[in-house]
Amino acid sequence: MGLFDKLSHEFIDIIQWTDDSTDTLIWKFPRYENEIKMNAKLTVRESQQAVFINEGKIADVFQPGMYTLETQNMPILATLKGWKYGFQSPFKADVFFASTRQFLGQKWGTKNPITINDPRFGMIELRAFGTFAFHIVDAGKFIQQVAGTEGQYSTEEIAGQLRSLMVTKFSSAAGSGDITIDKFAANLEELSQLCQNKLNDDFAAYGLAINKFLIENVSMPDDLKKEIFEYSRLNKIDMQKLAQLKTAQSIETAAANEGIGGMGAGLGVGVGVGNMMANTLNNALNQNAQQNTNNPPPVLQFFIAVNGQQTGPFSMEQMAQMATGGSLKRESLVWKAGMAQWAKADSVGELSSMFSNMPPPPPAG
């Protein structure tokens, strides 16, 4: 027997893996033709698991720690080998080490636009990208379902499978309706968590867990963005306040014409336009009340003229606070829906009582 043959059949008595890589998931212990000696020492470091495989079947899985290999701590392998009564002998088994640490900064993204059906905007195309982190939870399951019997398995080899699954789950989460399309940009964190939950439901079958899933950006066609922006603005508009504002602006415009057509004519136009706009507003509010009798009555609100500029609207509570604080005075010009023109605050019925308990200005000393 030659020297090589002698060395190649020496018994193995130390089994360990000192991982100095940054992307290795699975590493097969190089047993070759050597046999593992009973009572050999197995060292499984932190963030590792060791898996023994016998003739293609998953046997025993060891968590971090130091072990003396005996039939007692290899119950499955002992059964597969048919050892009984503590039978001691060298044995052959494939030993795989798995790295269970977190693999951070993994990138994912949609190579092509994905199509989802939104109930308001119809069929739309989206692109998205981001990062994720994962780790092996069950090394035996991962080897059985993904890695197989490859001698070494890296993050790059599984990246394609993971990314495909992530795009699928993102599509599912985006189309679920839990977060509407127009709110994607403001809810990326919530959408990311929704995708992570869906991913972990599936990744558990592969012995994996997603520690972090981040959507960094969701892009869509420009014409859809414009439509969403318009929809968002329209949704924010209080139609009653808009009607009040338009009425006040019309009255101000009519009053500004006094200097052009004469005091009487300008005033007449202002009053006429004011009455017309007030009647229009009242009719609109009355029709709205008839259509939905359960709606509460409109809140009484006032506008205040400050340095020639219109401010407001303000509620009665706010007006009372300003009167108490002195920012709203008796002579302040105010207007509310239904008034023909601006008037002094103390001449308006709803506001006059606010000044009844307030002392007049002190006499000049």
Residue pLDDT, tens place only, 76-96 = 888 877 776 566 677 888 899
Q: Residues 318, 342: contact at Cβ < 8 Å?
A: no
Cβ burial 129-138 (10 Å sphere, 16+ → b, else e): bbebebbbbb
272 pLDDT more than 70: no
DSSP state of 143: I
The total number of structural domains that make up the chain: 3
Residue pLDDT, tens place only, 181-209 = 667 777 788 888 888 888 888 888 889 99
Closest CA to 70 of 47, 45, 88: 88
Residue 351 lies in a domain: yes
Read off the pLDDT band of 236 (50, 70, 90). Answer: low
Which range marks the domain in which residue 21 is found?
10-99
Closest CA to 86 of 94, 78, 95: 78
Closest CA to 142 of 50, 55, 271, 47: 50
Tell me which range, 118-122, 243-247, 275-279, 337-341, is most confidently predicted by mean pLDDT. 337-341
Q: Residues 115, 128: contact at Cβ < 8 Å?
A: no
| Same domain, residue pair 116 and 67 | no
Q: Residues 159, 105: contact at Cβ < 8 Å?
A: no
Q: Residues 124, 116: contact at Cβ < 8 Å?
A: yes
Stretch 33-51: mean pLDDT: 88
Q: How many CB atoms lie within 10 A of CB 25?
A: 28
Q: How far, in Å, CA of 201 to CA of 340, rounded? A: 65
Tokens representing 88? 């001691």
Residue pLDDT, tens place only, 132-173 = 999 999 999 888 888 876 778 888 888 777 888 888 878 777
By DSSP bridging, strand 103-109 and strand 65-68 are: unpaired
- Tell me if the pTM is above 0.75: no
Residue 186 lies in a domain: yes
97 pLDDT more than 90: yes
| Same domain, residue pair 114 and 210 | yes
Looking at residue 135, its pLDDT comes to: 93
| Same domain, residue pair 93 and 169 | no
The CATH number of the domain holding residue 216 is 3.30.479.30
